[in-house]
Chains A and B, each alone.
Chain A
Amino acid sequence: MMISGHPFNDLAGWIEQMAVLPVLYRFGLMQWSELSFGWTLVALYGLFQMLLCYAICIPLERRFPIERWESRKPILTDVLYTAIARIGILPITTFVVFYTLQTRLDGFLADHGYAPPMLETIFPLLFGHPIVTFFIYALVLDFADYWRHRLSHRFGIWYALHAVHHSQRQMTVWSDDRNHVLDDAAGFLWFMVVGLLIGIPPMQFPVLVLALRFVESFSHANIKMGFGRLGERLVVSPRFHRAHHGLFAAGSTSVNYGAVFPVWDILFHTADFSSDFPATGDIGAPETMVSGGYLVQQWSGLLHVLNALRS
């Protein structure tokens, strides 16, 4: 294997050739060979994200912890969530479930003379400026995510699923991906609609993608850290996001919904810069959702939805 200027690509290419293609070939699945390279890349980025979190956040969590716990066992489930979400299992499953739906929808639109636009086709001046385009996409998608997140707190049934994310009392860098699969599916649908309106973002800047995803993980870390008066207003910090996870800020009373940029909270009056590392969790969440294993938490989320429907 030669490493060129694209180390992720080359490593993914090596894995593709050594492992993925032989498996697809063996099981008669070569029609997916075109897409499998992309998924190998996604899994590789995910693995690198986990290593990055471990290398940077774990030492900081030990050095500057907000809380210290006798047992860190509940955190192990969050590590499993992260592995499932980042190393391809969840993206591949979501892809399989939604691929047919998305292609049928796109095909229907194409038959009616509609090709999903992109920011560069809506604003032609952006064409040829991929980094600028990337950051505008990042802003627009963060804006969309702000509203998805805010609405998931607004509606009781949706929040009953989202409560899986909020129920963690030992919030760490691994808590970012602690989500109910149906909550993740809702998020995917949300971005599918956004994708129809503004297209998919360019993915040729893996380092920038990694940086944005790192901000989301870092904001959940058990690190007593803010970014200062100005920094707190530019990028979501552990201090800012912890207020969102505060024990008494669960459900519709929450604040600080932004994932990467706090600007949306400032604009829509949901920002709270005063909170000072409160205890996290959701007092309405059942204990099974708080400290059960992965499947127990998922089941508990479903029961929580049924309870919300009854009430």
Chain B
Amino acid sequence: MKLEISRRALLGAVAFPAAGLAVPTLRPPIAIVMDSGGATVSIIDMTTRKVVRKEPTLREPSHWALAPDRQRLLVSDAAGNAIFFFDPATGKEMSHVLIPDPYQLWYSPDGRYLGVNALRLNHVDLYHADRLTLAKRFRTGSMPSHLSYSPDSRWMFNSLQGANALASFDLLDLRARWSVPVGSAPAGVMWHEGLVLVAIMGSNHVAVVDPRDGRVRRRVVTDRGPHNLFLAPDRAHIVVTNRVAGSLSVLDAKTLAVVARVAMPGGPDDLCFAPDGKLWIALRFASEVAVFEPRTGSIDRIPVGRSPHGIFVSTLLTDAPALAAMRLA
């Protein structure tokens, strides 16, 4: 099922409440955009919506993870075999460390581990979060892509893009639990209400997986090439970026029914929710960040570096609902 709705209908259906509007911020808010094709991160002043500067990386920055103390933003650079540390409030580079092939990365909710997918080298590394030393390297199938955790930090879930599978690891025993086929080229992974949602990029749906055994319980059709999933700060909606269709699908977070489809050409990839309810979306193929206003359907475009991939907004640092939705609280 593909639900096309008019812009007018969109106003009511997909307006994410401005949960964090009143949240005070100490510094001018910025967006930090990982330009995979430009070997830079672009720093955008969110007020003027202009790139104010670019910070160098080594080769190909892609994803980010916020350290549990929220003092450092980690940016992975897989081709550069490095993780960069940025000040999340200012976007200034602090340091970097050499780590083989870090692609997507995320801290376990208890802050104990940093999971790092090595997409090219076909393994998942688990680092002790406090000192970034390797706790365990898990051999996986082809192309570990995205990852998520159970809220109790017991289990890690990793999509294997080349093996068409989802793998799970036990973080108490540091052992593999299962790896099961879930669909063609799985990408984004998200824990949601006791289930694991997986964006099946080689198809047109999100697989709803039982975290206990990896059984696919349901498939929610969105659009061609779903790539990643994000829980809105209102916790009532889930936004799915569809890479092939060039669109966003909005799901009801309770029923997982598609409630809206928004055309978003340019290869939507990562996105963040701003406190004013707008979505800041990296468009991989357009060298732009789109600022989407769900209430009106308007889209502003900000030119950034080549192939923008991951995006972080500094308003997250003080935006409790958004942090909670991303399990960063």
Interface of A with B (CB < 8 Å)? Answer: 2, 4-6, 9-10, 12-14, 16-17, 21-22, 25, 28-31, 33-34, 37, 41, 103, 106-107, 109-111, 115-116, 118, 120-121, 127-128, 130, 200, 202, 204
Contacts and interface: CB of A to CB of B under 8 A. Distances in A.
B243 interface: yes
A2 B303 CA distance: 10
Interface of B: 37-40, 56, 58-59, 79-82, 98-101, 118-123, 137, 142-143, 161-162, 164, 184-185, 201-202, 224-225, 243-244, 246, 265-267, 284-288, 301, 303, 305-307
Interface centre among A4, A29, A109 (most CB of B within 10 A): A4
Contacts of B79: 200
A44 to B, nearest CB: 12
21 contacts: A2-B286, A4-B287, A5-B303, A13-B286, A16-B267, A17-B265, A25-B224, A25-B225, A30-B225, A31-B142, A31-B162, A31-B164, A34-B161, A106-B120, A107-B123, A110-B121, A111-B137, A115-B81, A118-B81, A202-B58, A204-B39
A22 B242 CA distance: 12
A115 B122 CA distance: 15
B121 A33 contact: no
A120 B100 contact: no
Nearest to A27: B202
Given A110-B121, A118-B80, 11 more contacts: A2-B301, A4-B287, A6-B287, A9-B37, A9-B306, A9-B307, A28-B185, A31-B184, A33-B201, A115-B81, A118-B59
A31 B118 CA distance: 14
A5 B285 contact: no
Given A25-B224, A33-B243, A2 B39 contact: no
B285 A107 contact: no
A200 B59 contact: yes
Nearest to B185: A30
A128 B120 contact: no
B100 A16 contact: no
B interface SS class: loop
Contact of A13 (B185, B202, B285): B285
Contact of A107 (B58, B121, B266, B305): B121
B121 A28 contact: no
Contacts of A4: 286-288, 303
Nearest to A40: B285
Contact of B101 (A110, A120, A204): A110
Contacts of B40: 204
A308 B14 CA distance: 72
A4 B35 CA distance: 14
Contacts of B246: 17
A269 B301 CA distance: 56
Q: What 4 A-B pairs are tightest by C-beta distance, nearest first?
A: A13-B285, A30-B185, A30-B202, A110-B100
A13 B301 contact: no
Contacts of B287: 4-6, 9-10, 13
Contacts of B288: 2, 4
B284 A37 contact: yes
A31 B143 contact: yes
Nearest to A5: B303
Contacts of B164: 31
Nearest to A14: B285
Contacts of A107: 121-123
B56 A17 contact: no
B267 A17 contact: yes
B203 to A, nearest CB: 8
B232 to A, nearest CB: 26
B122 A21 contact: no
Contacts of A202: 39, 58-59
